[in-house]
Amino acid sequence: MKRSYYILSIVFVGIAFGLLFLPQYKVKQGINPEILLQQLNDPTRIIGIDEVAERMITKDPTLLLVDVRLSWDFEDFSLPGAIHIPLTEIVFAANEGNLTHPHKDIVFYSNGDITANQARAIALQHGVTNSYVLEGGLNNWFTSIIMATPPTETATEVEYEQYMFRRSVAVYFGMAIPNKAKGSATTKKELVPLVKANDKKESIEEEGC
Confidence of residue 97 (pLDDT cuts 50, 70, 90): confident
Tell me, yes or no, whether 203 and 180 share the same domain. yes
Domain boundary among 95, 119, 141: 141
Confidence of residue 102 (pLDDT cuts 50, 70, 90): confident
Q: What is the pLDDT of residues 132-149, one digit of tens each?
A: 999 999 999 999 999 999
Q: What is the pLDDT of residues 112-129, one digit of tens each?
A: 988 999 999 899 888 888
CB 108 within 8 A of CB 133: yes
| CATH number of domain containing 89 | 3.40.250.10
Tell me, yes or no, whether 41 and 131 share the same domain. yes
Tell me, yes or no, whether 116 and 157 share the same domain. no
Tell me, yes or no, whether 120 and 17 share the same domain. yes
Round the average pLDDT of the chain to a whole number and report it. Answer: 75
Tell me, yes or no, whether 182 and 200 share the same domain. yes
Domain boundary among 105, 126, 141: 141
CB 26 within 8 A of CB 58: no
Tell me, yes or no, whether 205 and 180 share the same domain. yes
Least confident span in 83-87, 92-96, 120-124, 204-208: 204-208
Tell me, yes or no, whether 160 and 63 share the same domain. no
Report angle CA 44, 45, 49 to the nearest 5 degrees: 95
pTM (2 d.p.): 0.68
Q: Which residues contact 196 (CB under 8 A, 6 or more apart)?
A: 54, 165
Tell me, yes or no, whether 189 and 106 share the same domain. no
Give me the number of domains the chain comprises.
2
Which value, to the nearest 10 degrees, does the dihedral of the CA atoms of residues 44, 135, 109, 101 take? -30
Tell me, yes or no, whether 88 and 64 share the same domain. yes
Tell me, yes or no, whether 86 and 172 share the same domain. no
Tell me, yes or no, whether 106 and 152 share the same domain. no
Domain boundary among 119, 141, 163: 141
Tell me the residue ranges of DSSP E strands in 19-175: 46-47, 63-67, 83-84, 105-109, 131-134
Indicate whether 111 pLDDT > 90: yes
Tell me the residue ranges of DSSP E strands in the chain: 46-47, 63-67, 83-84, 105-109, 131-134
Which structural domain, as residue segments, surrounds residue 18? 2-141
Q: What percent of the chain has pLDDT over 70?
A: 63
Tell me, yes or no, whether 127 and 194 share the same domain. no
